[in-house]
């Protein structure tokens, strides 16, 4: 079964695929994925309730994460077997994760790879940095979809999945994401968050092996910002 529709009470939270083993969720910006000591309030885990299963009871079924203010697609497991298989697929880089982003400035190359290890920033522990503390390998592939007057509209594909990877990588090459003050991005077009949306998720079903390839359109705030950027 693969119904599409609203999930629980969080505005904008949608289930785009559901079966006995997993669900793919379209997460709205502003929603934290799982509980943490620094956060009080609704989370993706609390909103989905008994839909999730497997792993840590504080974060059941969580295969990978999206930042609080990043919108888009995330896959979650419904039982321990699916969780283990999906986590292994992520480790083996068999889950394709693509994002739409608006990067400040005009990139010189239409395609490229940012290959730079990421770790915690020394002075701001909530920020990641290239060659930061306990750095781990990180690679982001990108393609410029459109060169705009002051920005580049890009699709980014994760090869690895480090915390804040796309945001830190584009900041490191001098093109921080629009609306991302944490990494030096300009506040423009009325955005209240970084312009970053997980728009495509593709992988093999852990039980059946069937190919799943799901997409999510830009949410209204990002779509409006993109049109404003084009009109600059």
Catalytically active residues, by annotation? 67
Q: What are the start-end ranges of the H helices in 49-137?
A: 80-91
Which SS3 state, helix, strand or coil, does residue 50 take? helix
Of the chain, the end-to-end C-alpha distance in Å amounts to: 45
For the beta carbon of residue 165, count every other beta carbon within 10 angstroms: 23
Q: What is the DSSP letter of 223?
A: H
Q: What are the start-end ranges of the H helices in the chain?
A: 44-48, 80-91, 165-172, 220-230
Q: Tell me the two tokens of residue 216.
A: 């999510």
Handedness of CA 52, 54, 59, 63 (dihedral sign): negative
Which SS3 state, helix, strand or coil, does residue 89 take? helix
Q: What is the DSSP letter of 8?
A: T
**CA 74 – CA 64 distance, rounded (Å):** 7
Instruction: Calculate the CA 5 to chain-centre distance.
Output: 20
CA distances from 199 to 34, 98, 156, 213 (A): 21, 6, 10, 11
């Amino acid at each position: 079964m693969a119904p599409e529709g609203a999930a629980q009470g969080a505005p904008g939270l949608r289930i785009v695929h559901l079966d006995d083993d997993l669900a793919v969720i379209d997460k709205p910006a502003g929603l934290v994925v799982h509980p943490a000591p620094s956060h009080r309030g609704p989370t993706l885990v609390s909103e989905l309730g008994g839909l999730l299963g497997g792993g840590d009871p504080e974060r059941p079924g969580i295969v990978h994460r999206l930042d609080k203010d990043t919108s888009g697609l995330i896959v979650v497991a419904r039982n321990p077997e699916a969780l283990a298989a999906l986590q292994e697929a992520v480790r083996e880089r068999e889950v394709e994760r693509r994002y739409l982003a608006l990067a400040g400035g005009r990139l010189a190359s239409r395609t490229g790879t940012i290959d730079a290890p990421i770790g915690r920033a020394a002075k701001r522990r909530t920020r990641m940095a290239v060659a930061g503390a306990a750095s781990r390998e990180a690679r982001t592939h990108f393609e410029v979809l459109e060169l705009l007057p002051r920005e580049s509209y890009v699709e980014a594909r994760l090869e690895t999945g480090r915390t804040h990877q796309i945001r830190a990588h584009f900041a490191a090459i001098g093109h921080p994401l629009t609306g991302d003050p944490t990494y030096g991005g300009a506040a423009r077009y009325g955005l209240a968050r970084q312009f970053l949306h997980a728009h495509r998720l593709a992988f093999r079903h852990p039980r059946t092996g069937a190919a799943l390839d799901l997409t999510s359109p830009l949410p209204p705030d990002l779509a409006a910002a993109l049109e404003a950027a084009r009109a600059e």
